[in-house]
Amino acid sequence: MTPPRSALTPDPGRLNRGTTPTLRWTGDSIEIIDQTRLPAQLALIDVRDVAAAVDAIERLVIRGAPALGAFGALALVVGLDETQPSSMTDAHAVLERLRTEIGDARPTAVNLRWAVDRTIDAALGDAAVRSVTDLRRRLLSEALAISTEDAQACAEIGRLGRELLPEATVIATHCNAGRLATAGTGTALAIAYAKAAEGEPVRVLAAETRPLLQGARLTAWELADAGIDVSVVADAAMVSLIAGGEVDAVIVGADRIAGNGDTANKIGTLMHALAAAEAGIGFYVAAPTTTIDPAVTSGDRIVIEQRDPDEVHHAGGSRLTPVGVEAINPAFDVTPARLISAIITDAGVLHPPYGESIAAALAATRCGQPGDRRC
C-alpha cells in the first residue's frame, strides 16, 4: 500500500513554499492566516483589538499551542494601543486585565498563558521602563522574542528528531503540529520538513482529527504546499494502519506536558499511542520546552478544554446528529508517560523516567532564568 521509497523523496524545488507566515506583526496589528477557512481559501485577518484577538483564539482562527503563545503576547501590545492608558498605573491595570482575558482564552495550551505572563512580567519588571511608551516598546520586544525563540525551537526539534529517527519514513501524526501551529516549521512536522530538506524520503499519514479536521484541512494543506507526500486517513482507520505495520513511527505535538511526562494533546492522540504500543513502534511527542508545565505534576491535573457540542453535531454546515441528542466535545486527551517513547524538545531528546529528564532539561533552560511563573 505504501509507495516505494524513491517516490517519497520530495522535490527540493518545491520545499519551503510556505511563504505566508501563520502570524506577523505589521507595526500596529497582527496579521494571521484564518485557519477556519483553509484549505478552501488562504485568507488573512488583521487583528486590531482585544475582542478580535480573543475571538480568533476561541474560534481557532489561530491555534496550536506555540502559535497561541506568540499571538497572545503580541495581542497585549494591541490591547495597550486600544486602551491608550494615560499613566503607568492605568497601564498596569490594563495589563493585569489582559493577563486573564487573553491568557486564559483557551485553558489547555500552556504556551498561551505562559507567553502572556512572560511578556507582562518582563515589561512591568524592567526598571528602565518609566513611561507608557517605554512599556509598549518593552512588551513588543518581549513578544517578538517569543516568536523568534519559537522558530528556533522548531528548527532544533526538527534537527534532533531527524537524527533520532533516521529509519522513520512513514510517519503518522494527529491534528496539526506544523507551520500553522507555531512561529516556525512546527514540532512534529518540523521533523518531516527536516528530513525533506535533506532529501530523505518521507511520507506523512495525517489523521483527519474530528471534529474540526485540523489534520485533514491544515496538515494536509501545509505539507502538500511544501511538496511533501501526505495522505489523509480517517481517525478510526489510523489504528489499523499502525497495527498492520504500515507506519514507522507516530509523532505528535503537545498542548501541555506535565512534570512526569504525561501529555495533553488533541483528542484522539491517546488512541494513536495505544495503537503504537500494540504494534511495537515508537510514539514520540515533539514540543518546545515552553510546553512543559512542571507546576502540573501529572496528567490528571491538566485542565481539558470542553468545546461547544455543536462542533460535533455539525460538519460542513450540515447537522449530523438527531436534534435532541447530546454531544460531548473534549478538545484534548492525556497520553500517559509510559506510552511515550521519547519527548523531542529544543533542549534535547528526553527519555524516561521523565520526572528526571524533564527536571534536568528545565533546570538547564527556562527554569534557570528568573521570572518563569511555572518553575
The catalytic residue positions are: 255
Stretch that binds ligand MRU, among 61-69, 197-205, 313-321, 351-359 (CB under 6 A): 61-69
Q: Which of 161, 253, 268, 299 binds ligand MRU (CB under 6 A)?
A: 253
Give helix 88-101 / helix 65-83 axis angle, nearest 10°.
150
Q: Rank residues 180 and 337 by Cβ distance to ligand MRU and give the closer one.
A: 180
Q: Which of 82, 69, 55 is nearest to 22 (CA)?
A: 69
Q: Going residue by residue from 318 to 337, which x/- string records binding to ligand MRU, judged by CB under 6 A?
A: -------------x------
Residue 229's beta-bridge partner residues? 203
CB of residue 342 to ligand MRU, shortest distance in Å: 16
Lookup result for grid cell 530523505: 200
Binding flag, residue 110, ligand MRU (CB under 6 A): no
Q: Which of 266, 272, 313, 374 binds ligand MRU (CB under 6 A)?
A: 266
Q: Going residue by residue from 201 to 240, which x/- string records binding to ligand MRU, judged by CB under 6 A?
A: -------------x--------------------------
Q: Rank residues 72 and 253 by Cβ distance to ligand MRU and give the closer one.
A: 253
Q: Rank residues 94 and 218 by Cβ distance to ligand MRU and give the closer one.
A: 218
Distances in Å between the alpha carbon of 148 and those of 151, 154, 155? 5, 10, 11
Q: Rounded distance, CA 191 to CA 185, Å?
A: 9
CB of residue 188 to ligand MRU, shortest distance in Å: 7
Q: Rank residues 30 and 109 by Cβ distance to ligand MRU and give the closer one.
A: 109
Stretch that binds ligand MRU, among 5-13, 43-51, 63-71, 80-88 (CB under 6 A): 63-71
Stretch that binds ligand MRU, among 39-47, 64-72, 128-136, 233-241 (CB under 6 A): 64-72
Q: What is the dihedral of CA 177, 14, 16, 178, to 10 degrees?
A: 0
CB of residue 146 to ligand MRU, shortest distance in Å: 14
Give helix 88-101 / helix 110-124 axis angle, nearest 10°.
170
Stretch that binds ligand MRU, among 125-133, 200-208, 240-248, 249-257 (CB under 6 A): 249-257
Which cell goes with 146?
517569543
Amino acid letter, residue 339: L
Phi and psi, residue 348, nearest 5°: 120, 170
Q: Rank residues 95 and 171 by Cβ distance to ligand MRU and give the closer one.
A: 171
Instruction: Note the helical H segments in the chain.
Output: 50-58, 65-83, 88-101, 110-124, 132-164, 188-197, 220-225, 235-243, 269-279, 310-313, 354-364
Identify whether the C-beta of residue 305 lies closer than 8 Å to the C-beta of residue 331.
yes
CB of residue 105 to ligand MRU, shortest distance in Å: 11
Would you say how long the chain is, in residues? 375
Q: Going residue by residue from 166 to 185, which x/- string records binding to ligand MRU, judged by CB under 6 A?
A: ---------x-x---xx---
CB of residue 202 to ligand MRU, shortest distance in Å: 18
CA atoms within 13 A on the CB side of 182: 32
CB of residue 125 to ligand MRU, shortest distance in Å: 28
Lookup result for grid cell 502559535: 67
Q: Rank residues 64 and 282 by Cβ distance to ligand MRU and give the closer one.
A: 64
Q: Which residue is nearest to ligand MRU (CB)?
A: 253
Identify whether the C-beta of residue 176 lies closer than 8 Å to the C-beta of residue 224.
no
Q: Rank residues 332 and 354 by Cβ distance to ligand MRU and give the closer one.
A: 332
Q: Rounded distance, CA 266 to CA 64, Å?
A: 10
Sign, CA dihedral 120-121-126-127, equals positive
Lookup result for grid cell 499502525: 242
Question: Which residues in this chain contact ligand MRU in the complex, by CB under 6 A?
Answer: 60, 63-66, 109, 175, 177, 181-182, 186-187, 214, 253-255, 265-266, 331
